[in-house]
Amino acid sequence: MPYKLQIPNSDDWKKDTDNPMVNGFRELMEYNNQFVDDPNVGIFWYDPEEDELFGIYSTLASDMNFFYSNVFHAEVRTCHLMHYALWQGECNRGKDKRFQKAIPFFKYPRGRIFEVKDRGFVVCTGSWLKQFPQVKQMIIDEFQLPNDTEFLIDGRWILEHGGSDKEM
């Protein structure tokens, strides 16, 4: 792992209160501490002007099921959420001005993190990543991926491509 997160002192979580529900929630939070360094799969966009990832959706890789891929001839997992669906939701929320209905979801550089069983983590992006090599470390840090994560350039994630076999 690239780093270990600093886990706050959880002694206060162990103190019983008069409310059994609160005690149960505290017990669950203490239990969840064991997962804070686990790697995530998910999707993201990159804003070259701000040099930052945005629109990040991640979930613990261990929470996702493996799917047998005929293409990989292996079991693979990633998050269920698709870029276009997250884009539409964020446009409706209107909190981040980069998400606009007038701008298609594939206008910004984007990518997806997969885990391939017995191979490790693979980040798929478009060729845009070659222009911005610093983004690799941002992705590793954000998704808590191992340093030996593989980066794969794939036509699905090139700019101006909506993810189908047809150019948009």
Tens of pLDDT, residue by residue over 1-27, are 444 555 556 566 566 778 878 778 777
Residue 158 has pLDDT above 70, yes or no: no
Q: What is the mean pLDDT of residues 26-42?
A: 79
Q: Is residue 79 part of a domain?
A: yes
Q: What is the mean pLDDT of residues 27-44?
A: 81
Q: Is residue 24 part of a domain?
A: no
CA-CA distance, 39 to 29, in Å (whole number)? Answer: 18
Query: Residue 61: which residues within 8 A CB-CB, separation 6 or more?
Result: 38, 39, 40, 41, 77, 115, 121
Residue 150, SS3? strand
Q: Is residue 28 part of a domain?
A: no
Residue 29 has pLDDT above 80, yes or no: no
Task: Determine which helix (DSSP H) or strand (DSSP E) holds 125, and give its type and residue range.
Answer: strand 120-125
% of the chain at pLDDT higher than 90: 56
Q: Is residue 61 part of a domain?
A: yes
Residue 127's domain comprises 38-157
Mean pLDDT over the full length of the chain: 84
Q: Is residue 90 part of a domain?
A: yes
How much is the pLDDT for 103?
86
How much is the pLDDT for 167?
33
Classify strands 150-153 and 120-125 as parallel, antiparallel or unpaired.
parallel
- SS3 of 39-96: the string is CEEEEEEEECCCCEEEEEEEEEHHHCCCEEECCCCEEEECCCCCHHHHHHHHHHHCCC
% of the chain at pLDDT higher than 70: 80
How much is the pLDDT for 21?
80
Tens digits of residue pLDDT in 41-96: 999 999 999 999 999 999 999 999 999 988 879 999 999 999 999 999 999 988 99
Q: What is the mean pLDDT of residues 25-37?
A: 73
Query: Residue 144: which residues within 8 A CB-CB, separation 6 or more?
Result: 1, 2, 37, 38, 39, 40
Read off the pTM: 0.78
Better pLDDT: 158 or 70? 70
Q: Is residue 32 part of a domain?
A: no
Residue 157 has pLDDT above 90, yes or no: no
Half-sphere exposure of 116 (CA within 13 A, CB side): 17
Number of domains the chain contains: 1
Q: Is residue 2 part of a domain?
A: no
- Token pair recorded at residue 7: 């886990």
Q: Is residue 152 part of a domain?
A: yes
Residue 28 has pLDDT above 50, yes or no: yes
